[in-house]
């Protein structure tokens, strides 16, 4: 390893189990010399295995509901106490859609569910940064990263209201990132990751199809959770001190593709089978 985060301190939101990108980020951050606090909502912690990750990385766990300013204030205060000072990096890896879980079509949402998903998936990012900003909890040249998906820019019908949540998440990164950069020299970015088989992602209808399609479309193939963690570590490090307000596509090239030869071949074989056989 490279000691890219030697001496740095952070908070990692959203590690649930070994399939979580946040889990991989925590493992890699530990390998690169960082110390950090792990956090998730109390209900998520009961469902996951975060205590195993804490033991593996020598970390402490502080439960927090990211939609509660009281919980976030307690989290940040306790984190600075545990870590012995201000924070150098924060990962926001939180997303949830009740409409997706309940099978509600995008055109027929339960708007109370919509508001809950919006609060958890997007507005929580603003809440986290607001509390960090008000408490002056970030070190200069610190880095805040949130995980996104390109349904924020393009139509993926079954991604449902999570697409709207990710669009708002990315807007928050730009808008709050300006003030965090201007006033605190802190950078804020989002990573638009390939479809990744996490516990949360698997709840989206047709998710296996997303993954297979993106793999065939992307010249480098899909980025894995571990590769996403590596990219996140680079954004936490001092090697990217002037990168901010960006939505960074980490998707094997998918975001710039129109069509690939693999996808076209599949299409032609299905639509024109006789021509493929030369008949």
Give the chain as a DSSP string.
Answer: ---TTTT-EEEEE---STT-HHHHHHHHHHHTT-EEEEE--HHHHHHS-HHHHHHHHT-EE----TT-HHHHHHHHHHHHHHHTS-EEEEEE-----HHHHHT--GGG--HHHHHHHHIIIIIHHHHHHHHHHHTT-EEEEEEEEEEE-GGGTS--GGGTTHHHHHHHHHHHHHHHHHHHHHHH--EEEEEEEPP---TTGGGSTTHHHHHHHHHHH-TT-PPPHHHHHHHHHHHHSGGGTT--S-EEEESTTGGG-S--HHHHHHHHHHH-HHHHTT-
Domain of 166 in residue numbering reads as 9-276
Domain membership of residue 174 (yes or no) is: yes
191 beta partners: 147, 248
Residue 227 lies in a domain: yes
> What's the chain's average pLDDT?
94
Q: How confident is the model at residue 204 (pLDDT cuts 50, 70, 90)?
A: low
Residue 47: predicted pLDDT: 79
Query: How confident is residue 200, by pLDDT bands cut at 50, 70 and 90?
Result: low
- Among 88-92, 182-186, 262-266, which is the least confidently predicted range? 262-266
pLDDT value, residue 206: 72
Q: Is 175 annotated in some ligand binding site?
A: no
Q: Is residue 121 a part of any domain in this protein? A: yes
Asked if the structure places residue 1 within a domain, the reply is no
Q: Give the active site residues.
A: 149, 159
What pLDDT, on the 0 to 100 scale, is given for residue 1? Answer: 82
pLDDT of residue 46: 81
Confidence band for 197, pLDDT divided at 50, 70 and 90: confident
**Within-domain flag for 63:** yes
| CATH for 130 | 3.40.50.720
For residues 190-197, average pLDDT: 95
Whether 108 is covered by a domain: the verdict is yes
Q: Does 191 belong to an annotated binding site?
A: no
Model pTM above 0.75: yes
**What is the domain count for the chain?**
1
Q: Provide mean pLDDT across the span 58-77.
A: 98
- If you average pLDDT over residues 70-90, what whole number do you get? 98
pLDDT higher than threshold 80 for residue 56: yes
166 is in an annotated binding site: yes
For residue 14, say whether it is annotated as part of any ligand binding site: yes
- Asked if the model's pLDDT at residue 279 lies above 70, the reply is no
Q: Extract the tokens encoding 102.
A: 């309940």
């Amino acid at each position: 390893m490279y000691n890219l985060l030697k001496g740095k301190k952070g908070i990692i939101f959203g590690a649930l189990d070994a399939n979580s990108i946040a889990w991989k980020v925590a493992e890699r951050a530990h390998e690169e010399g960082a110390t950090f606090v792990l956090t998730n909502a109390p209900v998520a912690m009961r469902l996951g295995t975060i205590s195993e990750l804490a033991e593996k990385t020598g970390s402490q766990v502080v439960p927090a509901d990211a939609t509660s300013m009281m919980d976030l204030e307690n989290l940040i205060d306790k984190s600075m106490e545990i870590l012995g000072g201000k924070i150098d990096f924060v990962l926001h890896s939180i997303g949830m859609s009740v409409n997706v879980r309940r099978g509600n079509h995008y055109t027929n949402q339960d708007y109370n569910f919509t508001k809950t998903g919006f609060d958890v998936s997007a507005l929580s990012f603003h809440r986290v940064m607001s509390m960090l900003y008000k408490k002056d909890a970030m070190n200069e040249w610190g880095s805040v990263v949130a995980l996104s998906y390109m349904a924020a820019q393009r139509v993926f019908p079954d991604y449902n209201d999570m697409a709207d949540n990710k669009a708002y998440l990315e807007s928050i990164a730009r808008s709050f990132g300006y003030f965090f950069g201007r006033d605190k020299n802190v950078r804020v970015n989002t990573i638009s990751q390939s479809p990744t088989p996490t516990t949360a992602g698997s709840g989206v209808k047709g998710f296996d199809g997303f993954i297979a399609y993106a793999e065939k479309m992307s010249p480098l193939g899909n980025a894995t959770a571990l590769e996403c963690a590596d990219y996140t570590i680079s954004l936490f490090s001092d090697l990217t001190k002037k990168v901010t307000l960006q939505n960074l596509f980490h998707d094997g090239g998918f975001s710039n593709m129109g069509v690939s030869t693999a996808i076209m071949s599949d299409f032609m074989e299905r639509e024109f089978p006789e021509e493929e056989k030369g008949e």
